[in-house]
Chain A
């Protein structure tokens, strides 16, 4: 298998950053932007694609429609109203949100349009109750300055748009999808950058810098899912693959690298197809229903598919393709895998190809029968797909199209980033965005007098913000950067400012708990979202009251992130870490002394270090170190004096 030289393949990456704004209301109504997981009233809808001129539809849209999925929406009072339910026309664009978009445009020296027009961008997967996302172009052009080892370089801005966020996917079943309406309509700023070349690490620096600039404005939401990056990746001037849903920056470099490798692998596969001399017509030139060949199969996969009513298996002949579908130029990169991901889009699980058969419980005899039916020679390949008939028909067309596209190398498509840094097929690339004007909302002229007061709101640079933060709270630079880049800056400032003058809780302590401790727990794959800001507030409040010790803070974090308990109270009692009373501590230390009498007799006061260690271990953070030390010393002195 080959190894990839990233520098030699003409890698280009364009970022599209979607940043939620921290506005009081949503973009088109007065609902609050706060997310919830407690829903009330629910209703169902079915979207259908609107016909464009001449009865022409987007094929992906037609497929979604054919599935005739029902979408169920859950609402929550306060965070959704008739506007989100698509039962009331949108209100005017939130002034606060538009102001933020304009401030960012000024900060990026982008050319603001003279009049903003709200558009409807068709989205019929159900994530918008209306069937479109409302979006408006605010500015074109401009640049973001990136500091790297060579100095300052500029990355061009293509567009800055203000748009509404989609509903939150709760579940995705075979026949119905469920969404929460709380996130629908939250204002987002979308900034698209010019494609750049460089190493994945340099690219991550671009995304990081832009994210920091937005955060420095203090106008953006923080927390999980508040910033999402779409990444457009191409190599050797090939088609652009759009990758959605990269949430963590530390995952970004990996995703880019994987996608570059995948695309290069596809080009190597295309070369092999060319070498085999296959022509387009030879792909899928014969289809056979082979349900009866498989009806006696012992394969559990086959059995499972056939147990569905109306399920069939069909085989597709691909002439001259033997060995190509299973060819793996890089580890994990092969056409067979691409086909598997593709049929999943159509809700099918079963796809097999001749390079992997016999296998999966499909035996020699059945493979031969399929070959005979298809009149396929040993130089030909075949693909078998099973499921409900009407879906299989769609999937077959899609498979043939995909294999034909393989001759050209990389198909333009939309892919999703996985949590382990790979990308998987999510849908065919939609055609040019299908947009038409949102006639319910008047156009908004942007005059110089409207921009005038906004110049003063252009955020300071990230550097300046870090220096200010470090000085204000006496943090070292690294900690200041960590807090600033984290989701907890506002919470950090709130906790620090709520401390009494004589508080022993220093900003440095708060900052390190909110960054280093949480990051290290996240690295252990624990769920950050189950440790809510309210819980963190409560933990520090208990610490301030002396109910728990500093040492216990990360233990409580961990307990909550493991979801073993649902409240701070339960975490503290489950851990048994509430601070000991003097009598309890007295008793506990007496036991440590008793257990270590031989050493005490031998070393006298010199044993205090060892005793301290044993005591702290036994107390599991239930008493402060200074207090333990003082009491231990007193006891030891008394003991030694009396003996």
Chain B
């Protein structure tokens, strides 16, 4: 008997241990007023310790209180319902080798999963064959080679993991084998990772497309399949290079939007179309088979690639994949305590990205702390909490005063992109002046030349 038995603890754990019963066993329990038979199911760690969970023959789960159980016995396993096997599952070897080859790096957030209806368990579908049988249409567009790099909820992915992911992509790109790289990612911080990769991997010869799902892939309504399909079509045949995020354009299952990695933001907690391009239209919309390019040159770096040059390692490709996480993102609000700024300086932070109000303001009360931070060599930059639009710090006195102090305005850079960029800039130079220059130059489309009306 293992120490932890499917999440059971306390009284339920003791009862099951004493009877030698483990999760998945067929059991019968008798209470004073009932008898039920079924499979012992695992228990979520967060649920109470007083119940055991049984999957009944009808398929329902129900909990029974340990204190009411008079008898619990293990019985030989019963055959479950047999489903008809799908006649023609697509196996990886059948996919045409003339198709573009794509690498799929998974970092967590299951893009395809399987449900075991016998136990109700859900697990990720990870092999190429599993992927094709989940989303058979993929086999029409590309040959996909999946590799699991990480398996984390996206809130657990930070600068160290960005480095790991970027290095892995660089390895794939340098192998010259792939026409593109897909990265499956939990959605919560996908736009941070997209920004990080945009700065770390420059002059990419192939597209790198991040893709996720707002509805988990274990449900028939998941957006995962269409998002992955859109990402695959885009990576395989758009002819564009750079770092992108591919997600639903609207709530309907029809159009997928591909966004520039530095211009995209998660703007809704749960909707399929949570990801939006800020101050720009998406790079492309994928509708069925067709790619409608909207905005091919957001940076000048992303260029239409020579179709004949597939799988060629880019000559100017650079991978500078390190990040310095000593950068704070501070949102100003009425009543903001400037001592937070002083604390960050004393704690050794090298950069502060302010999310100011409106055109880029913070209260006068912050001035002394900010001046002290700048004087001690901390990189202090201004973005706007309005999310949409540029900071413009020459319009009001406050803005002019902040500029005079040495606060660096970041135009319409998204605050989340700015904090990632500062981490990258500070990891790549010790020179503050150079770091300031990096922050203010447009490297990966993070600053818009003109914002469309």
Contact = CB atoms under 8 A, between A and B. Distances in A.
Interface residues of A, number: 58
A117 B61 contact: yes
A129 interface: yes
Contacts of B44: 439, 443
B215 A436 contact: no
14 contacts: A44-B252, A51-B134, A53-B116, A55-B130, A58-B84, A87-B272, A88-B269, A115-B64, A117-B63, A434-B59, A436-B120, A442-B46, A443-B51, A445-B51
A113 B254 contact: no
B68 A137 contact: no
Interface stretch (A118-126, A502-510, A541-549, A596-604): A118-126
Nearest to B116: A53
Interface stretch (B219-227, B324-332, B365-373): B219-227
B68 A114 contact: yes
A47 interface: yes
Interface string B60-102: 1111110010000000000011111110010000000000000
B33 interface: yes
Given A43-B250, A141-B34, A48 B225 contact: yes
Interface residues of B, number: 62
B254 to A, nearest CB: 6
Contacts of A130: 215, 219-221
B62 A113 contact: yes
A436 B220 contact: no
A190 to B, nearest CB: 11
B47 interface: yes
A432 interface: yes
A52 B220 CA distance: 11
Contact of B219 (A50, A57, A437): A50
Contact of A443 (B47, B59, B222, B226): B47
Interface string B106-146: 00000011111110111001000010011100000000000
Interface string A61-88: 0100000001000000000001001111
Nearest to B132: A55
Contact of B83 (A56, A82, A87): A56
A210 to B, nearest CB: 20
B36 interface: yes
Nearest 7 pairs between A and B by C-beta?
A115-B63, A131-B220, A432-B81, A435-B59, A137-B60, A436-B120, A114-B65
B219 A120 contact: yes
A173 interface: no
B295 interface: no
B167 interface: no
A160 B56 CA distance: 14
A141 B53 CA distance: 18
Contacts of A121: 59
B147 to A, nearest CB: 20
A154 interface: no
Given A115-B51, A130-B219, A431-B83, A46 B253 contact: yes
Nearest to B113: A50
Q: Binding site of B, secondary structure by majority: helix, strand, loop or mixed?
A: loop
A113 B55 CA distance: 12
A137 B58 contact: yes
B433 interface: no
B251 A43 contact: yes
Highest count of chain B CB atoms <10 Å: which of A54, A58, A433, A436: A436
Given A52-B83, A117-B53, A117-B60, A86 B133 contact: no
Highest count of chain B CB atoms <10 Å: which of A47, A54, A129, A437: A437
Contacts of B226: 46
B218 interface: yes
B270 interface: yes
A533 B81 CA distance: 47
A159 interface: yes
Contact of B62 (A86, A116, A432): A116
A436 B121 CA distance: 7
Contacts of A245: none
A141 B220 CA distance: 32
A345 B404 CA distance: 75
A436 B122 contact: yes
Nearest to A117: B61
A250 to B, nearest CB: 31
B219 A432 contact: no
A88 B219 contact: no
B168 interface: no
Interface in A111-150: 111, 113-117, 119-122, 124, 129-132, 135-137, 140-141
B84 to A, nearest CB: 5
Nearest to B67: A114
A113 B36 CA distance: 10
B271 interface: yes
Contacts of B112: 51
Contacts of A431: 81-83
Given A114-B63, A131-B220, A442-B46, 7 more contacts: A51-B134, A119-B120, A121-B59, A432-B59, A436-B120, A443-B47, A445-B63
Nearest to A192: B58
A87 B220 contact: no
B80 A116 contact: no
A17 interface: no
Contacts of B80: 432
Contacts of A57: 83-84, 86
A247 B226 CA distance: 38
A474 interface: no
A115 B66 CA distance: 11
B60 A434 contact: no
A62 B34 CA distance: 39
Contact of A43 (B36, B47, B51, B252): B252
A56 B114 CA distance: 10
B220 A122 contact: yes
A140 B33 CA distance: 11
B20 interface: no
Contact of A435 (B47, B120, B122, B133): B120
Contacts of A51: 112-115, 125, 130, 133-134
A493 to B, nearest CB: 38
Interface string B417-442: 00000000000000000000000000
Contact of B220 (A48, A116, A159): A48
Nearest to B214: A87
Nearest to A444: B63
Contact of A140 (B34, B116, B135): B34
Contacts of B215: 86, 130
Contacts of B115: 50-53, 434, 436
A326 interface: no
B81 A44 contact: no
A434 B117 contact: yes
B48 interface: yes
B52 to A, nearest CB: 9
A47 B221 CA distance: 5
Nearest to B91: A55
A59 interface: yes
A189 to B, nearest CB: 15
Contacts of A89: 270
A98 to B, nearest CB: 14
A436 B270 contact: no
Given A52-B114, A55-B86, A44 B253 contact: yes
Contacts of B225: 48
Interface string B256-274: 0000000000000111100
B117 A131 contact: no
A86 B221 contact: yes
B116 A55 contact: no
A115 B65 contact: yes
Nearest to B269: A88
A56 B133 CA distance: 10
Nearest to B90: A55
B60 A132 contact: no
Contact of A124 (B51, B220, B253): B220
